Structure 1
Amino acid sequence: MKRFFSLLAALATFALPASAQQEEIVAGLSQNAVQITATFVGSEILIFGAVKRDAPAPIGDLGVTVVVEGPSKPITVRRKAKRMGIWVNADSVEVEAAPSFYAIATSAPFDEIISPELNRARDISIPESIRILESEETTDTENFAEAVIRIRSKAGLYMINEGAVNMNEDTLFNTRIELPANLTEGDYRARIYLTRGGELVAEHSASIDVSKVGLERWLYNLAHQQAFLYGLMSLAIAIAAGWGASAFFRVFLRS
């Protein structure tokens, strides 16, 4: 009898993950590729989906969080200080990884649908997405992380829009993510989190390819692969532009 109850307990333990996954995300994107051209002024991605259920919806408010994240790269953040009446670079911190673009859209206030534990486990919020190398010389690394967020938020690269995810009967959802003109090319990722009471119910991810095309791609490849030729071309264009402007003003002044 004791072994029978032990077997029932084991079966119940294995059955828990299945019940926890009775809600799934079925989602799509309006575009999976963004092309950066010479006339690129930004774009917009519509992210939409539905909650697939194998049973009636559990009790509790449903929350949807959508994250679109650009490629992460290391950067150096410097703090300026006034020395003898001159502003110079003082302390600096090496940021191991900071997303080039980060946008969050939620169906409700962030703190209400994402628990602190889930936020840390999945690196959902903007501060959690930034990795700073610890240094003995600099102890206030949080201030440097806030500086990165502040600068990139002003540039339209970091944003959080609470309540921007539209929900319909706790089943259908959609939101729009604005992509600015100053995007960095690379592999972007869209993540969707379904939560109840701040705890994770289901998640879904999709990739977005952002790349330069046309003249932008040709100039980028030339600058990085044929730097000498790119320099000569830039010099020739500068000389031609200077000569053309000089000739124009000579003719204009004579008339």
Structure 2
Amino acid sequence: MRRWLALLCLIALPCQADETIVAGLSQANVSITTDFVGSEILIYGAVKRETPAPEGALEVIVTVEGPPAEMTVRRKDWVWGIWINDAEVVVDRAPIFYAIATTGRLEEILSETEDLRHKISIPRAIRAVGTTDEAEGSDLFVEALIRLRAARGSYLDSQGSVRLTEGTLFRTDIALPSNLTEGDYRVRIFLTREGRVVDMLERGIRVRKAGLEQFFTRMAHEQPLLYGLLALLIAGLAGWAASAAFRFIRI
């Protein structure tokens, strides 16, 4: 009898749509050369359904995250006529690049619980792990870090830039700055309904130096002595060339 009751309960439950993401990137590899001025990644896809879509607006969130790095954020105060560092926060996980694009306002399409679980918003993607006794909490330091990196183009907040067509097809463009750092970048795409994440897809982008940039970077790490001697030689040749040019101009 219990088995029959359980079966009847399952039949009585409303069917929910099985929505999954099918997506692609315009390029999965980015090469940093001497004339690199930035790039743009097109992220596009569709929503695959096994059953009709349920009620409630479907929303899309796209994030692009660079490799994390540890850093220390310090606060300066004017003490006895000079500026000194009197408080600091250690951030053990701050992405060197982070971009977020959405179909609407983030606070309207994503709940705080889901943001905490998946670490989607920029503040949630940053983890501050310690403060000095003088610090009044880490939130102000994280806000300062976000503000500074946003001014450099390393943190991008593009809410409302994802185009969703008929609740199925979506696309957005993410601009990569010229000061991009090499590493493995992570692309995440989220589908949400009523603030809840219903599916997530992850892709990767490889950012690597190429040409002379790659040559000098590899030499600096693998043969630092030779790299230093070559730098001195180039500096000497540049100084000699400048001196010769000035003498020629005087004549």
Q: For residue 128 of structure 1, what is the amino acid of its counterpart?
A: R
CA distance in 2, matches of 1:21, 1:69: 29
Q: 2:191 aligns with which of 191, 194, 211?
A: 194
Cα deviation for residue 243 of structure 1 reads 1.8
Whether the 8 Å contact between 2:75 and 2:86 is mirrored in structure 1 is yes
CA distance in 2, matches of 1:20, 1:69: 31
Alignment RMSD (CA, Å): 1.9
Q: For residue 59 of structure 1, what is the amino acid of its counterpart?
A: E
CA distance in 2, matches of 1:33, 1:20: 37
Match of 1:90 in 2: 86
CA gap of 1:234–1:22, structure 2 versus 1, over 3 A, is same
- The answer for unaligned runs of 5 or more in structure 1 is none
Match of 1:120 in 2: 116
Cα deviation for residue 250 of structure 1 reads 2.2
Match of 1:23 in 2: 19
Map 1:134-213 onto structure 2 (within 5 A).
Answer: 134-135=130-131, 137=133, 138-213=135-210
Q: 1:106 aligns with which of 91, 102, 105?
A: 102
Q: 2:239 aligns with which of 239, 242, 247?
A: 242
CA gap of 1:51–1:36, structure 2 versus 1, over 3 A, is same
Which moved further from structure 2: 164-173 or 85-94?
85-94
Residues 1:66 and 2:25 are matched in the alignment: no
Where 1:105 maps in the other structure, the secondary structure is: strand
CA gap of 1:176–1:211, structure 2 versus 1, over 3 A, is same
What TM-score do you get using the length of structure 1 for normalisation?
0.92
Match of 2:40 in 1: 44
CA distance in 2, matches of 1:3, 1:89: 68
Whether the 8 Å contact between 1:107 and 1:163 is mirrored in structure 2 is yes
Identity of matched residues, %? 50
Whether the 8 Å contact between 2:89 and 2:141 is mirrored in structure 1 is yes
Where 1:249 maps in the other structure, the secondary structure is: helix
Match of 1:226 in 2: 223
CA distance in 2, matches of 1:44, 1:237: 34
* Residue-by-residue CA offset, 1:49-101 (whole Å, 9 max, x unaligned): 01111111111111000101111111111222223322233322211110011
Where 2:120 maps in the other structure, the secondary structure is: coil
CA gap of 1:38–1:88, structure 2 versus 1, over 3 A, is same
What TM-score do you get using the length of structure 2 for normalisation?
0.93
Where 2:107 maps in the other structure, the secondary structure is: helix
Q: 1:56 aligns with which of 36, 43, 52?
A: 52
Cα deviation for residue 24 of structure 1 reads 0.9
Which moved further from structure 2: 192-201 or 138-147?
138-147
Cα deviation for residue 167 of structure 1 reads 1.0
Cα deviation for residue 122 of structure 1 reads 0.2
- The answer for unaligned runs of 5 or more in structure 2 is none
Where 2:130 maps in the other structure, the secondary structure is: coil
CA distance in 2, matches of 1:249, 1:2: 98
* Residue-by-residue CA offset, 1:31-53 (whole Å, 9 max, x unaligned): 01111111110000100001111
Cα deviation for residue 247 of structure 1 reads 2.0
CA distance in 1, matches of 2:160, 2:207: 26
CA distance in 1, matches of 2:30, 2:17: 33
